[in-house]
Amino acid sequence: MSALLEATDMWQSFGGVQAVRGMSLEVSRGTITGLIGPNGAGKSTLFNLLSGVIRPDAGQVSFKEQDITRLAPWRRARLGLIRTFQLAREFQRMTVLENLMFAPQLQLGENFWPIFLRPGAVCAQEAEVYRRACEVMEIATLTNLRDDYAGDLSGGQKKLLELARTLMIDCDLILLDEPGAGVNPALMNTLTDMIWRLNREHGKTFLIVEHDMDMIAQLCDPVVVMTQGSLLTKGGFDDLRRDPAVIEAYLGSVANG
C-alpha cells in the first residue's frame, strides 16, 4: 500500500521540554493506523504537528507526496487531511443538521455576490449539501437527532457528530484524537462500527490516537507505539501486546492502574 501521509524526523520542544524527538511515522492509504503510548509520550504534540496546529522545530510532513510542513490547517483540509479533537468542537446553538450543512468548504452562499448573480447555482448547491447531510446522518445514526441543538447532545453523540462533519468534506485522511474519550459503552460500539464502515465502505484512511485498547484491538492495523517523544516500535496489535518493551512502556502501566 502506498504512503498517504509521511512524517520524517520530527522534533518539537516547548521551553526546556523535548516533546517530540526524531519521530517518524507513515500512514498507508486504506489503513486504520493506531498511535498509542503512555501519557506524556508526545502523541498529542505529534498530532498537532501533522495537522498544522503547530509547526515543527525540525522535520518534514508529506501528504499525497506533497510537502505540507508549513501549510496552515485549513490548507491541509482542502488537500483532504482532516482532524478531530479530544473535546468535540461543535456549534452548540446550531442543530445537528445545521452543523453538518455548515461543514463543507467554499460554498457559494457564503459569499455576497453569488447570492444575487447566481441564485440558481446557490440553491442547487444548498440542495446537494442538504442531501449529503441527510445521507451522513444515516451513516452516523443521528437522523433522529437532526433538529436537536448540538450543545444538548451527550458526549458520545457529539463525537459521532464531529466524525460526521468530516464526511461533509471531501477528505482522504481523518486524524482522530481519542474518539472514545467520554463515550459510554453503548455508543462506543456505534462509533467503532462507524469508523470501520467508513474505512471499508467509503475508502477513508484513519490515524487514531486512543487509550482504549479494546478499540485499538478491534480497528487498528498497524499500531505505532511512542514513548518519550520517539518511536518505540510498530506492528500488529496481537504482537505488540506480547512485546516486553511495549508492556513495560504502556500496556503494563495501564494494567497496573
pLDDT of residue 79: 92
Task: Please report whether residue 244 resides in a domain.
Answer: yes
Are residues 65 and 110 located together in one domain of the fold?
Answer: no
DSSP string, 122-175: HHHHHHHHHHHHHHHHHHTT-GGGTTSBGGGS-HHHHHHHHHHHHHTS--SEEE
Instruction: Assess whether the previous peptide bond of 119 is cis (omega < 30° from 0).
Output: no
pLDDT of amino acid 254: 47
Q: Quick one: 50 and 66 in the same domain?
A: yes
d(CA 228, CA 226): 7
Residue 215 and residue 239 in one domain: yes
Contact 209, 195 (CB under 8 A): no
pLDDT value at position 251?
Answer: 55
Residues 10 and 74 reside in one and the same domain: yes
pLDDT of residue 104: 66
Alpha helix stretches (DSSP H) within the chain: 43-51, 73-79, 96-102, 112-117, 119-139, 155-167, 185-202, 213-219, 237-240, 244-246, 252-255
Range of the domain at 202: 3-90+170-255
- Count of domains observed in the chain: 2
The pTM of the full predicted model, rounded to 2 decimals, is 0.82
Query: What is the pLDDT at residue 27?
Result: 97
Measured CA to CA in angstroms, residue 101 lies from 32, 40, 44 at distances of 27, 37, 29
* Chain centroid offset of residue 74 CA: 14
Tell me the Ramachandran region of residue 228: left when phi exceeds 0, alpha when psi lies from -120 to 50, beta otherwise.
Answer: left
Instruction: Identify whether residues 68 and 195 lie together within a single domain.
Output: yes
DSSP 251: I
* Structure confidence at residue 234 (pLDDT): 95
Whether residue 114 sits in one domain with residue 235: no
Rounded to a whole number, what is the distance in angstroms from the first to the last CA of the chain? 37
pLDDT along the chain (257 residues), means of 10: 91 94 96 94 94 95 96 91 74 88 62 56 74 88 92 88 84 90 83 90 93 92 95 94 85 47
Lookup: cell for 247: 508492556
Asked if 88 and 147 touch (Cβ cutoff 8 Å), the reply is no
Contact assessment for residue 3 and residue 26, using Cβ atoms and an 8 Å cutoff: yes
